[in-house]
Amino acid sequence: MIKEISLKELNPANFIGDKVNEIKNIVGNGMAINALSGGVDSSVVTMLGHKALGENLRTVFIENGLMREGEPAQVSAFFRKLGVSVEIIDARKEFFDALKGITNPEEKREAITQTFYKNVFGRIVRECGAKYLLQGTILTDVDETVAGIKRQHNVFEQLGIDPQAAFGYRIIEPLIQLRKDSVREVGKALGLPQEMFERIPFPGPALSARVIGEATPERIDTVRRATAVVERILKSSGAFQYMAILHEDRVTGMREGKRDFGQQIEIRCWASRDARTASPTKLPFEILELLAREIIKNVPGIVSVTYNIATKPPSTIEAV
Ligand code: XMP
């Protein structure tokens, strides 16, 4: 059982001090690798690891081909400004090869997990002799995986998987007792700029969690373009999380007077405190219309745009 530290109980300064010591003690004089995706959790872990290990921490950003528009370059430039150098590793081919032909959500998540941890990190760790991987798993990831709701890409020990035996390295998870609201407080106390610790959550399986059916490079590109529109328009909405989802079903539409058997985008915009439960926000109809217009204008092949109005549960925040 992991003991939760609630937002009420959290003392960010003490928490940071404890975790920095813990990381130092575990890693000693060795090397650790740190998986940065640019999300709130991994950004906070990067700063903690950097404080604890300095040059003995190698921070990598895996370009898996599933990230949002411009993300690899933006994230590495951002951390460079904070004094952390980030190495971008191009693993696009490996991820798309692993996802080929897979339509089942859990199989898709499993393919991502194996490619990340076994193939890509396994190789990096072997090459540089690191024994530890530092990552930003939080308590909600563990809860949902253990409850069998969704296999979060980054949960192992609670499922009885020993990362040392399975992948050849140990995993350090400094944020495992926290939920998102507390992680944000720690990020703030670490001096991360507001735009970073207030970023909306983004899942480890990235845009493949937002493509129903096979995640091919073309379909990922479609959802990536729609995501850019949704994030631009809903940025100031104050919502917990918002996203575009590409559906598998096609629907009849018309374009330039001709039949167009096109694709559908679903928009979700969630109100939530900690991602355990969530409800759709009441977006003004004008905003919904603007979203539809901009998606149809900017994303080739889309003829239908819908807004999800179900709550979590029974929905989940991501579609896959
Ligand atoms: P769900 O879709 O389960 O998501 O309601 C709850 C929160 O977790 C994020 N999420 C993930 N985060 N690895 C992660 O690190 C994952 O595999 C994953 N799947 C979902 C999701 O974006 C939401 O904030």
- In a domain? residue 166: yes
Judge contact between 7 and 181, C-beta under 8 A: yes
Give the pLDDT confidence of 137-158 residue by residue, as tens digits. Answer: 999 989 888 888 888 888 888 8
Q: What integer pLDDT is reported at residue 151 of this predicted model?
A: 83
Last residue of one domain, picked from the residues 197, 227, 261: 197
Q: Which ligand 1 atom sits closest to the C-alpha of 209?
A: 19
Domain C-terminal end among 197, 227, 258: 197
Given this model, what pLDDT does residue 170 score?
Answer: 95
Atom 16 in ligand 1: which residue has the minimum CA distance?
Answer: 152
| Distinct helix (H) and strand (E) counts, the chain | 12, 9
CATH number at residue 247: 3.30.300.10
Are residue 179 and residue 286 in the same domain, yes or no? no
Say whether both 63 and 117 belong to one domain. Answer: yes
Residues 191 and 220 in one domain: no
- Residue 152 CA, closest ligand 1 atom number: 17
231 and 185 in a common domain? no
pLDDT tens digit sequence for 205-224: 999 999 999 999 999 999 99
Residue nearest to atom 20 of ligand 1 (CA): 203
CA–CA gap between residue 230 and residue 224 (Å, rounded): 10
Residue 206 lies in a domain: no
φ and ψ of 59, to 5 deg: -95, 125
Ranges under pLDDT 50 in the chain: none
CATH number reported for the structural domain that contains residue 64 in this entry: 3.40.50.620
Residue 319 lies in a domain: no
Q: Do 125 and 215 fall into the same domain?
A: no
- 316 domain residue, yes or no: no
Same domain, 184 and 35: yes
Q: Are residues 169 and 229 in the same domain?
A: no
Q: Among 42, 107, 150, 156, which is best to mutate for testing ligand 1, by the most ligand atoms less than 8 A from CB?
A: 150
Q: What is the pLDDT, as a whole number, of residue 133?
A: 96
What distances in angstroms separate CA 76 from CA 72, 89, 96, 241, 302, one per listed residue? 6, 11, 23, 23, 32
Residue 141 alpha carbon to ligand 1 centre in Å: 7
203 CA to centre of ligand 1 in angstroms: 5
Residues 105 and 224 in one domain: no
pLDDT in tens, 64-104: 999 999 999 999 999 999 999 999 999 999 999 999 999 99
Domain total of the chain? 2
Q: Which atom of ligand 1 is nearest to the CA of 278?
A: 5
Neighbouring residues of 55: CB distance < 8 A, sequence distance ≥ 6: none
315 within a domain of the structure (yes/no):
no
Question: Same domain for 54 and 193?
Answer: yes
Q: Hey, whose CA ends up nearest to atom 11 of ligand 1? A: 203
Please tell me if the CB atom of residue 205 comes closer than 6 angstroms to any atom of ligand 1: yes
Q: Say whether both 184 and 223 belong to one domain.
A: no
Contact assessment for residue 251 and residue 303, using Cβ atoms and an 8 Å cutoff: yes
- Domain of 294 in residue numbering reads as 211-307
Residue 318 lies inside a defined structural domain of this protein? no
The answer to whether residue 162 is domain-embedded is yes
Q: Is the CB of 316 under 6 A from ligand 1?
A: yes
Q: Could you tell me if residue 127 is inside a domain? A: yes
Cβ of residue 312 lying under 6 Å from some atom of ligand 1: yes
> Do both 188 and 99 map to the same domain?
yes
Per DSSP, the three-state class of 4 is: coil
Rounded to whole angstroms, the Cα distance separating 267 from 281 reads: 11
d(CA 64, CA 205): 9
Read off the pTM. Answer: 0.92
CA of 144 to the centre of ligand 1 (A): 9
Q: Relative to the CA of 243, which ligand 1 atom is closest? A: 22
Which of 174, 197, 220 is the C-terminal boundary of a domain?
Answer: 197
- Token pair listed for 38: 């640019």
Identify whether residues 285 and 170 lie together within a single domain: no
* Residue 173 Cβ contacting ligand 1 at under 6 Å: no
Among residues 295, 233, 304, which one has the least CA distance to residue 269?
A: 233
Give residues with Cβ within 8 angstroms of 111, minimum separation 6.
98, 99, 102
